[in-house]
Structure 1
Amino acid sequence: MEEYGIYLSFNNLMDLFRLPVNPETLEIKESGNSKSYDIIDFGEINTISAPKLMEITLDSIFPAQNYPFVLVSDTSLMTPFEYVKIIKKWMESKKPIRFVFSGIASPKEQNPKNSVALNMAASIENFSWKLSAGNSGDIEYSLTLKKYVFYQAIAVKVDKGEVKAETKRPNDKAIPATYKLKAGDTLWSVAKKVLGDGSKYKVIQKLNGISDSQLTKLPVGKVIKLPQGG
């Protein structure tokens, strides 16, 4: 019988863990968004709108010890409060996480081969937890996630009466606070790779107090600060 697992990740897999104990049930809520109206001399009509975003609720435990039913190894199993701390940190970030319900293969593997059953960005709508009765140290929790749809403002340009819009694929990866220079790196290449715009190298230069004469003599291994918020 194929083994299934649930993975939660954040910041393009920079933070990732597998739920150590699968929930007994996985409640998935999908509903329409239709509305009814009463029309004089006609009666009730129903308009069909786009469906509401999917919600997933799961209840399980974060175990304090490696029981026979725990799905992760001793080295991967964290303490119950570590799991709670990570989820609370994700909630405070106000950024979406990623929910993956998959077969044996981890989301980090290159070729899962049809193992992924559900993979979506999600917001944490509710997270409640409590210590289990007795002295086990386990934490019981309930977690509700809601499908997250990336959106962005689109800049438009009118050219000879024609409206043109250019969209970019949204990215849920956060900009790191620092970057460690590697061989061959320049501030321009770092700005292009991390910020998506090489011309922003001057912002990095000013932020780190690097003079023009030092631009061609950047030491490998030097840790530089990166601008936050774009």
Structure 2
Amino acid sequence: MAMPKLERDYNIYMSWNNYQEAIYLPVMPERIELKRKGNGNTYEIVGLGQINTIQARDLAEISFESFFPGRERFPDNMSAGSYVPFLSSEVKKNPAALIQPPTHYVNHLNRWQDSRRPVRFVYKSPVLNISLAVSIEQFDRWEEAGAEGDVSFKLTLKEYAFHTARKIIIEKNPVTGKQKVKQAPKPRLDERVRPKTYTLKPGDDLVKVARLWYSDSSVAKEIQKLNNIPDAQLKNLPVGKVIKLPERK
């Protein structure tokens, strides 16, 4: 009795603005390179010779090459897999719906790169799973003779480290009266692109809006001033009112 063939899962999924836009790369690359370089420093110590101090590693870099197949290569009566054996597992399930024209992928990646916001990169295979916020450092593409309609490309990505100023909390010991200074907890990582305006919903107030988009209730005062909202209206904001949101880097 023949053993059933096990389906292996190979996918590269990329998304932007907290999954508001997303694509599966249709053709898996032959090779994906992940670099995680250490960052040690070497010093010359009199009487000891050289010593090495270990620092935090550099940000990871990911690079690979593949291509976006021209949609005309997959007529409705032919299997996409018969043309390209390395289709991602998710695309194989419904190639007619998930394989888009090359311009679809190129436009998305161009726009994401120009947005100056991080992209979520997810790579899944039987032996390796990667999920990282990354910046698109380089996106090269070209056409090759004999593959009319296809667009070949090379992507170079770099791990993105979320960073923001952290508040300082001063706590006073009720018994001794001594003060203790500590950092506030790290804010939740947020990949969303904050809109320029927000439409108020039932139950909304400016504090809730500030917490939603800035994770900081103190921004409510800034929102109030920006939109010229009087104090008397704060507890009775009209549903559907469009308010401006302050810019933040």
**Same fold, TM-score > 0.5, yes or no:** yes
Mean CA deviation greater in 199-208 or 45-54: 199-208
Query: Rg: which structure is higher?
Result: 2
- Asked if 1:85 corresponds to 2:85, the answer is no
What is the deviation of 1:156?
2.5
Number of the residue aligned with 2:121 = 99
What is the deviation of 1:16?
1.2
Number of the residue aligned with 2:185 = 167
CA contact (8 A) 2:38 2:57 kept: yes
Alignment map for 1:59-74 (pairs within 5 Å):
59-65=65-71, 66=74, 67-68=80-81, 69=84, 70-71=87-88, 72=91, 73-74=95-96
Q: Which amino acid aligns with 1:163?
A: V
Please list every run of at least 4 consecutive aligned residues from structure 1 whose deviation after the TM superposition is greater than 6 angstroms: 211-215
Number of the residue aligned with 1:120 = 132
Aligned residues: CA RMSD:
3.1
What is the deviation of 1:202?
5.4
Mean CA deviation greater in 67-76 or 205-214: 205-214
Q: Please give the secondary structure, in 2, of the residue aligned with 1:194.
A: helix
Mean CA deviation greater in 202-211 or 115-124: 202-211
The one of 175, 187, 190 equivalent to 2:209 is 190
What is the deviation of 1:27?
1.1
What is the deviation of 1:91?
1.9
Alignment map for 1:25-64 (pairs within 5 Å):
25-64=31-70
Structure 2 residue runs without a partner (length 5+): 1-6, 75-79, 172-177
Alignment map for 1:149-164 (pairs within 5 Å):
149-159=161-171, 160-164=178-182
Query: Which string of whole-angstrom CA distances, capped at 9 and with x for unpartnered residues, describes residues 32-79 of structure 1?
Result: 222333334443333333322221111101122144334433333332
Q: Please give the secondary structure, in 1, of the residue aligned with 2:30.
A: coil
What is the deviation of 1:175?
1.2
Q: Please give the secondary structure, in 2, of the residue aligned with 1:74.
A: helix
What is the deviation of 1:187?
4.6
Q: Which amino acid aligns with 1:193?
A: L
From the two aligned structures, give the one with the greater helix fraction: 2
Aligned sequence identity (%): 40
Number of the residue aligned with 1:75 = 97
Shift in alpha-carbon separation, 1:193–1:43, aligned structure 2, 3 A: closer
Give me the whole-angstrom Cα distance separating, in 2, the residues matched to 1:189 and 1:49.
40
